[in-house]
Structure 1
Amino acid sequence: MYFPYFRGKQYELITIRESALTLGASGFVPIVEPVKSQLNGLNKTIDVTLEKGAGIIVIANPRIGDFSDYNAELVNLIKDKHSEDKQVTVGVLLDEATSLEQASGLINTFQGHNIALVHSGFSQSKALAAEIQGVAGIACSVFEDGKSGKLYQKHFAFQPHRVLLRNGFEKRRNADHPDVEVFSDLHLTYGLEGMTGFADFLMVGDDYQETGGPAYTVAIHLTYINTDDDDIMYIRHFKSDRQDTPTDPAGKFAEALAKLILHLGSADNRYYDTSAIAEFRELHEKGHYPGLGYVKKLAMKHHIETFAKYFKDNPAQ
């Protein structure tokens, strides 16, 4: 049903591990595009995910990061260690730079594995669709919104599992975010799109950066279900008061966190009491600054737990 899309940086992988039980219990399947050549974290993440009864999709040909030019080590990891793990699905990323020959070669390389095709700008949809009809093991197609239109998707209508991937997070300077805005309604409308599941880039967005810039403005980005607006998902941006220099990120985090805690006690609060919210409360009580990567991890965990809670309470969706 839900396929959160992660880039395999440290805190993204930690988020998956710490959310593995929730992912498994909810039937959610994370998609990981590995970006770091050090594979220990990815290895551990796959192992923990399987231990908790969840599935995982691992992109075998990342377009960004350390594996964008040479992915043999990653391919060998999947083939050698997880050839018998049916919960590990191989993701084949099809973007504008992928040729039909490259796509076919990757699919052939992973014969015997479950395969997910991730469509993100690939141009030869008709030819590929004709080639894979009847090929066992191709589990699903993930269509990135804006990079695989309706006519493109039509060629893969024979596949029983189709997922629409849409970015709900608009990239801006933290200072330029409004206090609150719509994030997505895809969890409500994916069926109307002819899909059996939906995906997003969580509240990180699809814009990949190796490292973050200086924190002129510290912001906590937290999604919630707006029960006053047809259960559409919204996002609030709790921003620090000081926004003019990159100094004192800990103090700025305290300013943003104080706004979150104040909102949680207000009549306008629509947040579920997730484990991440509980940890934000604890950080406030202790006056502790855990670092911006940790804050992002909590926001990602909250996003996953929000969907888990929503679908548990609304099984008809």
Structure 2
Amino acid sequence: MYFPIFLAKKYDILALCDLDERLFKNTIPILIPHYHKDFKKNIKKIVDKNIYFIIVLNFKRIGYPTISDIENDLINDVLKDYKNYSLAYWTYNDTSKLEIQNFINQNVELEKSIIHRENFSNISYLNKQDFKYNIFIENYVDQDYIDLFENNNKVYIQDGFKRQKKNADYPKISSFSDNHYSYKSRGGIGFGDFTIIGHDLKDGGGAAYAVAIHITNAQNKTANVHHFVSDTVTGRENPGGKFIEALNHMMKFIDKHTIFEGIGITTYRDLHKRKHFPGLPINKKLGIINHIEQIVNII
């Protein structure tokens, strides 16, 4: 089973909703709620599609909803009559046993999982709990820590996207992960990633000096990301022209190499045929769609 993690922002949610519903037989998205004007509306889109998802209750970052906010605005509001979701608690070094117990005791009708972002000190306590999934963010918790968990419900999350400070700095190709191939051999029942956004989960952006299109290509044991960057890498003007430059590079590659073509790739093909710039948020959305399609196609 594949567990992509991302912020519940407009175009991330739209990416999920635009996917072929058959992909969700093997995909469980993990959503980190994110406050903005369309906060509830975006979650409602998933509800309308009847997509099963896991929602993170306690992502500690300034400006993000608190547990109380999520209870009031989602669980007791938008999700009040929706049953096709579950909850997850994100561990930090200072997470206490009391916090975990409160998480377990509340919303008893919903399944619950733990996301290990930092080590939790009382592992024997966690091993006694009936969590749906123990989800581990690799590179932040090590294998020795993971091995202390006895339950057969481990999910391995790797951040395979190598984010650069500037779009112009991306190489033509970077390795992503072999997690889709190796997770079972390490005792996992699932794996995941942060798609082509990366673990830092940036909240926003602005006009870029260069435009980049990130295309995941998963073949057999490995997944790589190909980065197609505009020829023009100076000035903030003409993002549409820069997008077409990057798209031209992408199409030359796609036409010469074997790659699964789902909604993401076919939409890029249509944009190239029409020489149309849909806006940078749509470029991001299509990259997410393609990434999920590529990963699910290979598992």
TM-score strictly above 0.5: yes
Q: Does the aligned pair in 1 maintain the 2:11–2:281 contact within 8 Å?
A: yes
Equivalent AA in structure 1 for residue 265 of structure 2:
I
Measured against aligned partners, the alpha-carbon deviations of 1:198-235 in whole angstroms (never above 9, x if no partner) come to 01000111112221143111000000023xxx531111
Equivalent AA in structure 2 for residue 258 of structure 1:
N
1:166 aligned residue: 158
Q: Does the aligned pair in 2 maintain the 1:37–1:66 contact within 8 Å?
A: no
Does structure 1 residue 279 correspond to structure 2 residue 278? no
Equivalent AA in structure 1 for residue 105 of structure 2:
N
Q: Compared with structure 1, are the counterparts of its residues 128 and 217 closer, same or farther at alpha carbon in structure 2 (3 Å cutoff)?
A: farther
1:118 aligned residue: 115
Q: Compared with structure 1, are the counterparts of its residues 207 and 61 closer, same or farther at alpha carbon in structure 2 (3 Å cutoff)?
A: same
Aligned pairs for 1:131-146 within 5 A: 133=128, 135-136=129-130, 138-146=131-139
- CA shift at 1:86, angstroms? 4.7
- CA shift at 1:88, angstroms? 0.5
2:171 maps to which of 170, 178, 186: 178
Equivalent AA in structure 2 for residue 308 of structure 1:
V
Identify unmatched segments of 5+ residues in structure 2: none
Q: Supply the distance in 1 between the matched residues of 2:126 and 2:6 (Cα, whole angstroms).
A: 26
Measured against aligned partners, the alpha-carbon deviations of 1:32-79 in whole angstroms (never above 9, x if no partner) come to 0011154323431331342xxx421011112236335x3313123225
Equivalent AA in structure 2 for residue 241 of structure 1:
D
Aligned pairs for 1:220-239 within 5 A: 220-226=213-219, 230-239=220-229
2:288 aligned residue: 300
| SS of residue paired to 1:67 | coil
Q: Does the aligned pair in 2 maintain the 1:91–1:118 contact within 8 Å?
A: yes
Measured against aligned partners, the alpha-carbon deviations of 1:11-46 in whole angstroms (never above 9, x if no partner) come to 11111111261432x321000001115432343133
Q: Compared with structure 1, are the counterparts of its residues 19 and 63 closer, same or farther at alpha carbon in structure 2 (3 Å cutoff)?
A: farther
- CA shift at 1:81, angstroms? 5.6
- CA shift at 1:309, angstroms? 2.2
- CA shift at 1:142, angstroms? 0.6
1:35 aligned residue: 34
1:219 maps to which of 212, 222, 229: 212
1:191 maps to which of 184, 200, 223: 184
| SS of residue paired to 2:269 | helix
| SS of residue paired to 2:186 | coil
Aligned pairs for 1:194-213 within 5 A: 194-213=187-206
TM-score (normalizing by structure 2): 0.91
| SS of residue paired to 1:4 | strand
1:242 maps to which of 232, 238, 249: 232
CA RMSD, Structure 1 to Structure 2 (Å): 2.0
| SS of residue paired to 1:106 | helix
1:270 aligned residue: 258
Q: Supply the distance in 1 between the matched residues of 2:275 and 2:87 (Cα, whole angstroms).
A: 43
| SS of residue paired to 2:19 | helix
Measured against aligned partners, the alpha-carbon deviations of 1:236-255 in whole angstroms (never above 9, x if no partner) come to 00000011222211110010
- CA shift at 1:261, angstroms? 1.1
Identify unmatched segments of 5+ residues in structure 1: 312-317
- CA shift at 1:83, angstroms? 6.5
Consecutive aligned runs of 4 or more in structure 1 exceeding 3 Å deviation: 79-86
Does structure 1 residue 103 correspond to structure 2 residue 100? yes
| SS of residue paired to 2:227 | strand
| SS of residue paired to 2:87 | strand
TM-score (normalizing by structure 1): 0.86
- CA shift at 1:82, angstroms? 4.3
- CA shift at 1:85, angstroms? 4.8
Comparing 82-91 and 277-286, the one that deviates more: 82-91
Comparing 239-248 and 56-65, the one that deviates more: 56-65
- CA shift at 1:97, angstroms? 4.0
Q: Compared with structure 1, are the counterparts of its residues 106 and 80 closer, same or farther at alpha carbon in structure 2 (3 Å cutoff)?
A: farther
Q: Supply the distance in 1 between the matched residues of 2:33 and 2:144 (Cα, whole angstroms).
A: 30
Q: Supply the distance in 1 between the matched residues of 2:44 and 2:114 (Cα, whole angstroms).
A: 24
Does structure 1 residue 154 correspond to structure 2 residue 142? no
Count the aligned residue pairs. 296
Percent identity between matched residues is 27
